[in-house]
Amino acid sequence: MAVKLAVIGVGKDFLIPVIDSVSFTVEVGDFVCLLGPNGCGKTTLLRILGGIEPATRGTVLLDGRPVVADQRHERQVGIVFQEDRLLPWMSLRDNVALVLKPLGLDREARHARAMHYLRLAGLQGFEAYYPGRVSGGMRQRAAIARALAIEPDMLLMDEPFGALDAQNRRIMQNEVRRIWHETGRTILFVTHSIEEAAAIGTTLIMLSARPCRVRELIQNDGSVERARLVDDLNTMIMQEVQRQQGDPR
Amino acid sequence: MSARDWARRLHLPTLAALAAVLVAWTLLSRRYGAYVLPAPSSIVTGLADIVWSGDIWKHTAASLSRIVIGFGLAVVTSLLMGLGAFISPLIRVVVHDVLAILNSTSVFVWIVIALIWFGLSDWAPIFTTFMITLPVVASNLVEGVASVDRQLLEMGDVYRLSGRQKFTAIVIPSTLPYLVAGMKVGFGLALKVSVVAEIFGVTSGIGYIMNYSREILATQMVFVWALVMILIMGATDKLLFDPVARRLTRWR
């Protein structure tokens, strides 16, 4: 399989090193979950991969071309944030259609594509609603539809279901899994929930406590029983939390 | 619609209070005479008089045209200040301080300065209106600009929206409600302030005619013109600013 994303020795300092040095590769069509204890730098790493923030050191290659913050490159990356970040004064359809403007599509094509991806995200019939009139889960679906609509080379998701209740979370996990199957996109999904990662990821990357390193890379191909896997990951995350607390720094 | 809803819509308690005031007013007017306190009935006839004679349109138009120019210039200047504050943090600090100074300056200061600079002309009330309404409209707008959600702007960056696309899709919609709120307060203030400035030096407008009525001992006309001002204020709020504000926030 071809390599989609290569992360080579990426690090970030905010006065102290937050991310030490992280290296891994993501193959085309992978569903990678980035796991780690709270505050280990998962979000920062995702922002570097998405080209929102510059790395202090290291390189990120998307399809072999470097991702540099604040520098335009022709590769498209769709990002779903922790918050939905929809414009409250635009209907769900217009929210999705807005991000298609830079792609140079005409008005009709933008609307058609927005409708298509909203339907894919299970929002048929709600296209004309304002974000404030639908539930949190539906807003997050719209945010996913928006990220998919630009037909990105890669989809980055930063704890997109963090604000949802357990039931909606489960539903959305299944939805993302389904969308991944239907679109075949490469997805990088940040979460601090082990159950979530084990349920949806094909590759799990466990990050260490700050300063962040890759602690373990696990293929979630069903060779290890789900319950075992969750147990092992729980043990690892507890070790990391303890290490962080015991750290004299 | 039920009887109760109608009662609320008509502001019945307010009307009841008004009726009580009118009765007391009539009694007091009998006691002290029309020069001190004209009877409510004379105000009604006075209003009818100026409507028939066309004076109401002449003076209202004169006042409103001055307000529209002074207030309009204040809105345009506010927009430039808001844009500056959006573009540069340095300009935002300067604008903020300038507005704080303007905000704490008395109406009378501007009237006196206007008379010195512009003499007995239309520009005195226009200038006064401008200087008084500018800080009100501009502070609101600058506050609106400062409150634009950074997370939404970052979203715009991620999806490669151009500066212009971000401005029209994100910045303008989030600041417009602040602008309209500032304009509503500013317009009310403009009406109150410009009539004061009209006492000096001009020969038309509501402020002029009120002062003239006082001089010729037609006290009831002072009340009539005060009523006209109240009606103008109510009409612009209900027919202009409130519908616009509602339309801008219909997504809420």
N- to C-terminal Cα separation, chain B: 25
Q: A163 with A51, same domain?
A: yes
Q: A112 with A54, same domain?
A: no
Buried b (16+ CB within 10 A) or exposed e, A146-184: bbbbbebbbbbbbbbbeebeeebbeebbebbeebbeebe
Q: A48 with A170, same domain?
A: yes
- B155 has a pLDDT exceeding 50: yes
Beta-bridge mates of residue A204: A33, A218
pLDDT tens for each residue of B167-199: 999 999 999 999 999 999 999 999 989 888 898
Name, in order, each residue with C-beta under 8 angstroms of A142's C-beta and a sequence gap of 6 or more: A84, A86, A92, A95, A96, A118, A121, A123, A131, A134
Chain B residue numbers touching A77 (CB-CB < 8 A): 158
Chain B residue numbers touching A88 (CB-CB < 8 A): 251-252
Q: A138 with A168, same domain?
A: no
pLDDT tens for each residue of A205-230: 888 777 877 777 777 777 777 777 77
Position A38 scores a pLDDT of 76
Residue of A nearest to B176 (CA): A89
Residue B187 has φ and ψ, to the nearest 5°, of -70, -40
CB-based contact A88 B155, cutoff 8 Å: no
Q: A134 with A168, same domain?
A: no
Chain A residue numbers touching B165 (CB-CB < 8 A): 98, 101-102
Mean pLDDT of B216-234: 90
Beta-bridge mates of residue A60: A7
DSSP state letter for A133: G
- A10 has a pLDDT exceeding 90: no
Q: A142 with A175, same domain?
A: no
Of A152, A169, A197, the last residue of a domain is: A152
Position B3 scores a pLDDT of 66
Beta-bridge mates of residue A24: A7
Q: A30 with A98, same domain?
A: no
3-state DSSP call for residue A104?
coil
Q: A141 with A92, same domain?
A: yes
Give the Cα separation of A32 and A17 in Å (integer): 24
What total of structural domains would you count in chain A?
2
Name, in order, each residue with C-beta under 8 angstroms of B104's C-beta and a sequence gap of 6 or more: none
Q: A59 with A4, same domain?
A: yes
Mean pLDDT of A148-166: 84
Chain A residue numbers touching B169 (CB-CB < 8 A): 87, 90, 98
In a domain, A161, yes or no: yes
Structural domains for chain B: 39-148+175-247 (1.10.3720.10)
Assign A249 a pLDDT band (cuts: 50, 70, 90): very low
- In SS3 terms, A18-45 reads as EEEEEEEEEECCCEEEEECCCCCCHHHH
Residue B150 has φ and ψ, to the nearest 5°, of -65, -35
In a domain, A7, yes or no: yes
pLDDT tens for each residue of B6-64: 767 777 888 889 899 989 988 998 888 888 888 888 888 999 988 999 889 999 999 99
Mean pLDDT of A104-121: 89
φ/ψ region of A143 (left if φ > 0, alpha if ψ in -120 to 50, else beta) reads alpha
Assign A5 a pLDDT band (cuts: 50, 70, 90): confident
Of A152, A173, A203, the last residue of a domain is: A152
**Among B129, B101, B104, B124, residue whose Cα is nearest residue B113:** B124
Which of B150, B155, B178, B250 best tests the A interface by mutation, with the highest count of A CBs <10 A? B155
* Other Cβ atoms closer than 10 A to B239: 10
Of A114, A136, A152, the last residue of a domain is: A152
Residue B230 has φ and ψ, to the nearest 5°, of -60, -40
Name, in order, each residue with C-beta under 8 angstroms of A186's C-beta and a sequence gap of 6 or more: A4, A5, A26, A27, A28, A29, A30, A31, A32, A153, A154, A155
CB-based contact B158 A77, cutoff 8 Å: yes
**Contact status of B246 with chain A (Cβ, < 8 Å):** no
CB-based contact B165 A102, cutoff 8 Å: yes
In a domain, A229, yes or no: no
Give the Cα separation of A116 and A101 in Å (integer): 16
Q: A146 with A116, same domain?
A: yes
Q: A170 with A246, same domain?
A: yes
Residue A115's domain comprises: 86-152
In a domain, A217, yes or no: no
pLDDT tens for each residue of B67-116: 999 999 999 999 999 999 888 889 989 999 999 999 888 888 999 999 89
Mean pLDDT of A128-137: 90
CB-based contact B169 A50, cutoff 8 Å: no
In a domain, A104, yes or no: yes
In a domain, A175, yes or no: yes
**Contact status of B169 with chain A (Cβ, < 8 Å):** yes
Give the Cα separation of A52 and A49 in Å (integer): 8
CB-based contact A102 B155, cutoff 8 Å: no
Q: Which residue has the higher pLDDT, A196 or B112?
A: B112
Position B97 scores a pLDDT of 92
Chain A residue numbers touching B162 (CB-CB < 8 A): 102
Q: A116 with A191, same domain?
A: no
- A248 has a pLDDT exceeding 60: no
In a domain, A235, yes or no: no
In a domain, A202, yes or no: yes
N- to C-terminal Cα separation, chain A: 42
CB-based contact B155 A85, cutoff 8 Å: yes
Percentage of chain A with pLDDT > 70?
95
Torsion of CA B47, B49, B53, B55, to 10 degrees: -40
